[in-house]
A and B are shown apart, each in its own frame.
Chain A
Amino acid sequence: MTESNARSSSALESILAHAVILLAVGFALYPILWVVSLALSGTSDPSPQVLPLPQEPTLSNLREVAWTSQTVDGAEVWLFGHQLLNSVVVSLATAMVGIAIATPAAYALARFEFVGKSAGLRTLLATQMFPAVASAIPLYILLDALGLLNSRTGLILCYATTTVPFCIFQLRGAFETIPVDLEEAAMVDGATRFGAFVRVVLPAARPAIAVTGLFAFMHAYNEFILAATLLSREDMFTLPVVLQRFIGEYNAQWELFAAGSLIVSIPVMALFYVVQRHLVAGLTAGGVKG
């Protein structure tokens, strides 16, 4: 093959590859563009169009969703802000509780042999097999007895019950990939077992912890069924419950739903942006030979 032939064939390959990638991106983004268009449209007609361009562009939908207020105890409060805060606080707390409990547990399961280890792992796995809705009624009764219905604490506790086993499984896998030699080297260098864990294992597991925390956050942030079951006061709602209220039995406000979806996505996108630098794969590469 001559040089010019080779060059033109590689250019063709590149064009083809870019075309396929653009198609895939378009396929993934199209529904989102459609939601954006609907959120910015002045009409409430969700009828599909080929080009997702807003009709009668306006920000009124976003304003209507975001600037809701309510009188609580005689004072005017920014209701949507309160609900957004609920979602963020509950999700962050769930992720933190999940990571805080799961990290030492996963490390122990990855590194030590002890009585009941495999039975414990099987039990953890079993908890993952049931959908959240299966435990909704017992959780309701429990929270009612504890006086934690309509509270962020109650919701965090419920979410943590499903998040912790998931985080343990995720992190156990991550710890198993970190060579034991690293901890042993730290112990020979003068660290205690705990010191080696804090100074060497945790930094090496940082990407895995970040991803696991993100998943735990997303799980809590998107969860609807338990939130809808356990929360009845509007100022305690989390965002999925708020969004669902726009789709009534007789009247669906799609443009408000779309506007709400956009606003709800912002904290998640911000979080991804913050966490992404921790997601760098292969942080442990080069620590040990091989």
Chain B
Amino acid sequence: MVAVSVNNLHKQFGRTQVLKGVDLHVPDGAFAVLVGPSGCGKSTLLRLLSGLETATSGEIRFGDRPVTSLAPRDRDIAMVFQSYALYPHLTVYENLAFGLRLRKEPRSIIDQRVCEVAEMLGLTPLLKRRPKALSGGQRQRVAMGRAIVRRPQVFLFDEPLSNLDAALRAQVRVEIRRRHEAMRTTSVYVTHDQVEAMTLADVMFVLNAGCVEQSGTPAEVYRHPATRFVAGFLGSPSMNFLAAHLEKRSNDTWEVVVDTQNSPPIRIVLEDYPTANLRDGLAIELGVRPHDMTLAPDPEIADLRLTAGLCELLGPEIQVHTQVAEQPFTLCLEAELNTRRGELLAVDIDHLHLFDAATGASLR
């Protein structure tokens, strides 16, 4: 097991700059998740780590060993592909043994390790089958087994769950996390699915347009998004954003003022928010997660007053779609409240985020 470090990594395809100076550090034995929207460069970054693409500039190190210019086979990695990439002409046993045979391991060792992994993943009854005779979930397990059997220094996962149905995906996700906790092999996992990212990661890297926008534990990144992009990308339903500006009151308190067209502006007094980056009159975006609001005990002094629009019951909660200051706004309330369309709601904001409207950076 080794730590994975990437320093100032650039990758260009023709004139298209896909990675623009990526830095990241995955500690030894950690499970890192690269997450971001389509086209953000996360798969390219993984391919650079695997050696399937070569970097335009920058450096990749596995532990103390620079691997930037090494071929994939010399990096001691194993990769699980989105498509599984099982060898169609080989049986499950031969698929698992492929890498070991290439490394000319003795037959007895190959046999022992393949059987061990097959047993671990429940593949023993399938060892003589070809990939075409397996279900999606079984193929996925073979792909995982092929990676595990090699005992590499680093595991790379390229959206390995995206071809599974929802129920199986959740099951395999837990399985991956469990295996990682047992083996503690440094892993880098690419996904666009934020649930996978949040649940699997020890450390998470949010990528946007070829740059790492923020890194940290899932809890840190979720609770304290560094930019408007990260705030909007993580969380379901997405964070609500309202265009606003800051006003400093005479008694040294700060107010977020959301201008509306047909009614008086909405004023929200800031409490427990660090003031170091606040400037009077600064144009900002106010961010509020749908789950960070509760019904106000006293409607007279509530932060927001709004009329419920479409209400969707999702089991334990109701998603209420409405508008605030002529902008779409969603909030999640407890299902017991039985909120109906047209109902007048007075809500308090328990936790808010402020972003500089010009740069998108958090003001915290």
Contacts and interface: CB of A to CB of B under 8 A. Distances in A.
B81 A181 contact: yes
Which of the listed residues B84, B139, B146 has the most CB atoms from chain A within 10 Å of its own CB? B84
Interface of A: 179, 181-182, 184-192, 195, 199-200, 203-204, 206, 282-290
Interface stretch (B29-37, B70-78, B178-186, B226-234): B70-78
Contact of B73 (A181, A188, A200, A203): A188
Q: Which of B99, B136, B150 has the most CB of A within 10 A?
A: B99
Interface string B40-73: 0000000000111000000000000000000111
Given A188-B156, A287-B85, 12 more contacts: A181-B82, A182-B85, A185-B86, A187-B72, A189-B99, A191-B73, A204-B89, A286-B132, A286-B139, A287-B88, A288-B84, A288-B86
Interface in B100-159: 102-103, 130-134, 136, 139, 146, 150, 156
Contacts of B102: 189-191, 195
A286 B136 CA distance: 9
A286 B130 contact: yes
A203 B146 CA distance: 19
Contacts of A186: 87, 98
Contacts, number: 95
Given A187-B52, A203-B89, A289 B136 contact: yes
A284 B88 contact: yes
B85 A288 contact: yes
A142 B228 CA distance: 74
Given A286-B130, A287-B131, A289-B139, A185 B163 contact: no
B91 to A, nearest CB: 12
The 9 closest A-B pairs by CB, nearest first: A286-B132, A287-B88, A288-B83, A189-B99, A181-B85, A190-B102, A185-B85, A286-B131, A203-B89
A48 B52 CA distance: 67
B318 interface: no
A282 B132 CA distance: 9
B68 to A, nearest CB: 16
B86 A179 contact: no
Nearest to B134: A286
A189 B98 CA distance: 7
A285 B88 contact: yes
A289 B73 contact: no
Nearest to A288: B83
Contacts of A195: 102
